[in-house]
């Protein structure tokens, strides 16, 4: 066994571009394996609903891993796209919207809060086996982490859709990042909780926004299937908005401010075809 103390402390940090804050090999191994199967487990999905996904670090890391490492798929991009992310966060949006619309005024704060703990953090904080870190199908996690942390495709998504999602960035996140507030800005879930903004008008606006966001995210997921219609620019931005609303906007804002990515190293694995889903039929 090996001491993973430094890594455990790392998991408390926000995900960022520098080597002290980006994804380590243990996180890449866990998230890559999660995408390949754990997300389909009913108990796992129920736990994710209770916690509203992962913590901010591992929610954005989950998206990065899928976008950077999954090379094959349907739709106009044919891979490097947030398919699993879209399915999970579409489900979370539907749950949140329903709870806020039907719940009592006094329960709104509790509804918005995460309950339990982040699954990724819990699993990653245990002791690790020494030696080469191997992940799903025998891939070398160190090589996968190096590839994922280039953010080549994630940055492309952020850049291509920035005109859509920057208009909806939480005003509190925007102020912290010293950018202007868009005309459709809405507080993210963490800042709604911090501000105690649970009045009828605010919650009504949130429910309306989440309904629109869920519809656009559904359209994006459908566009990544064999028979789905092509997505629009606002559909393409929906996954960024969904993670931004649930977990805060620091990561995409930091990526846009971080300059051009370095060239990615030689691929650490062969292209993978996504298993077929009922939507592909």
Q: Is residue 182 part of a domain?
A: yes
Question: pTM of the full predicted structure?
Answer: 0.85
Q: In this structure, is residue 274 part of a structural domain?
A: no
Please say whether the beta carbons of 13 and 22 come within 8 A.
no
Tell me the residue range of the domain where 118 lies: 5-259
CB 255 within 8 A of CB 154: yes
Helices (H) and strands (E) in the chain, counts: 15, 0
Listed in sequence order, the DSSP H helices in 130-230 are 141-148, 152-165, 171-176, 189-195, 200-223
Number of alpha carbons in the 13 Å side-chain half-sphere of residue 123: 16
pLDDT of 190: 98
DSSP 193: H
| Tokens 């208009």 found at | 167
**What's the pLDDT score for residue 270?**
34
Distance between CA atoms of residues 127 and 78, nearest Å: 38
Question: pLDDT value at position 178?
Answer: 74
Looking at residue 1, its pLDDT comes to 36
Number of structural domains found in the chain = 1
Distance in angstroms (rounded) separating the CA atoms of residues 118 and 273: 29
* Regions of the chain where pLDDT drops below 70: 1-8, 38-40, 74, 127-138, 259-281
Instruction: Give the pLDDT score at 262.
Output: 33
In a 3-state reduction of DSSP, which class is residue 134? Answer: strand
Q: What is the pLDDT of residue 141?
A: 85
């Amino acid at each position: 066994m090996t001491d993973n103390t430094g890594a455990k402390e790392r998991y408390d940090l926000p995900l960022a571009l520098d080597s002290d804050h980006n994804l380590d090999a243990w996180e890449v191994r866990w998230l890559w394996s999660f995408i390949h199967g754990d997300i389909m487990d009913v108990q796992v999905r129920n736990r994710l609903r209770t916690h509203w996904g992962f913590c901010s670090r591992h929610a954005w890391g989950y998206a990065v891993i899928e976008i950077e490492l999954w090379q094959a798929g349907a739709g106009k991009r044919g891979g490097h796209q947030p398919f699993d992310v879209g399915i999970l966060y579409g489900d979370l949006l539907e749950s949140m919207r329903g709870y806020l619309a039907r719940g009592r005024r006094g329960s709104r704060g509790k509804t918005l809060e995460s309950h339990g703990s982040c699954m990724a953090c819990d699993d990653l904080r245990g002791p690790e086996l020494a030696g080469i870190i191997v992940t799903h199908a025998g891939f070398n996690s160190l090589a996968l982490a190096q590839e994922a942390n280039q953010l080549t495709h994630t940055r492309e998504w952020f850049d291509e859709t920035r005109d859509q999602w920057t208009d909806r960035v939480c005003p509190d996140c925007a102020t912290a990042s010293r950018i202007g507030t868009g005309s459709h800005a809405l507080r993210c879930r963490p800042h709604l909780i911090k501000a105690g903004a649970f009045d009828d008008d605010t919650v009504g606006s949130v429910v309306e926004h989440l309904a629109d966001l869920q519809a656009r995210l559904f359209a994006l997921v459908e566009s990544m299937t064999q028979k789905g219609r092509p997505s629009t620019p606002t559909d393409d931005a929906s996954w960024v908005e969904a993670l931004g609303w649930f977990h805060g906007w620091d990561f995409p804002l930091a990526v846009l401010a971080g300059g051009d990515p370095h060239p990615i190293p030689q691929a650490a694995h062969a292209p993978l075809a996504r298993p077929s889903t009922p939507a592909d039929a």
